[in-house]
Amino acid sequence: MEKKVLDRMRQMTHHKHVKILPRGNAALFVAFYIIKQISEQPRLLIPDQGGWISFKTYPELLRIDFRELTTDKGVINLKELEKQLKIGASALVITSFAGYFAEQPLKKISALCKKYNCLLIEDASGAIGDKKLCNGKYSDIIVGSFGKWKPVNLGYGGFISTNKKEILDKANRAFSLFKTSEDIYYRLLPFLNSDRLKKFIRISSQIKKDLSKFNIYHGDKRGLNVVVGYDERVLQYCQDNGYFYILCPNYIRLNEKAISIEVKRL
């Protein structure tokens, strides 16, 4: 069963080397640990919004210098990225969908990172199984979570993947910190064939149509969630339709007064 899971993950990530871990955060910790091992003076770029809380806490724990990259409401600004890459960076970490609500221009980001010899780490927790994102053709390292409210919602577990075995070899000491239960492979496989991601994107598209007269952030981009400028009528819409929501400003969504309709919690 382990082989079937790993083969399926290789298909989904376009990466040759995949390791299953007990949590998505464990995978992210390992990715940052790798940066620490391969760079004499590691410098990490993280988005200024639309990221994940561990983007800030783990570098501090590992004593990795990190800087926030100014984004377009969570989506990577390519001109700003190149400006920072010229200064120098060991790695950039992004989420496939900024704040789960806006698709990143992954191919263009990857091209810039390769130009300036910067590793691209993609947190694909919200995009596992997507045809464009969670894509090892562009990302040097992919991490992801199988936790609650994710497209692959096993309830626990995560993964890290890469095409370069020598990268994972740098993480052997970090891997020793985490023990993954053998039964995860038996439980995980059915979830890897789920259509939840397509369902979330379809529902979010309908919500954007319903709320088209309101200020929808990155309404032209694919996403799981929908983020709308704060309005009491939007709150009422959520209540009427049974949609859970998060109020912003919030680093993991948007740093402006807004409402994040959490489609991924359906």
pLDDT at 135: 96
Are 81 and 110 contacting, i.e. CB atoms less than 8 angstroms apart?
no
Euclidean distance between CA atoms 205 and 226, whole angstroms: 8
Residue 218 backbone zone (phi > 0: left; psi -120 to 50: alpha; other: beta): left
Q: What 8-state DSSP symbol labels residue 95?
A: E
User: What is the rounded CA–CA span in Å between residue 47 and residue 92?
Assistant: 9
Global pTM value: 0.96
User: Strand ranges (DSSP E) for the chain?
Assistant: 17-21, 43-47, 65-69, 71-72, 75-76, 91-95, 97-98, 102-103, 119-123, 141-145, 158-162, 226-229, 245-248, 258-261
Opening angle at CA 262, ends 205 and 209, nearest 5: 25
* Strand ordering across the sheet containing 119-123: 17-21, 158-162, 141-145, 119-123, 91-95, 43-47, 65-69
Residue 114: CB atoms within 10 A of its CB come to 13
Contact between residue 49 and residue 100 where contact means Cβ atoms under 8 Å apart: no
Q: Low-confidence residues of the chain, pLDDT below 50?
A: none
Identify the structural domains of the chain with CATH numbers, from first to last: 2-193 (3.40.640.10), 196-265 (no CATH)
- Dihedral sign for Cα atoms in the order 48, 51, 53, 58: negative
pLDDT of residue 249: 98
Q: What is the pLDDT of residues 10-24, one digit of tens each?
A: 999 999 999 999 999
Q: How far apart are CA 69 and CA 49, in angstroms?
A: 9
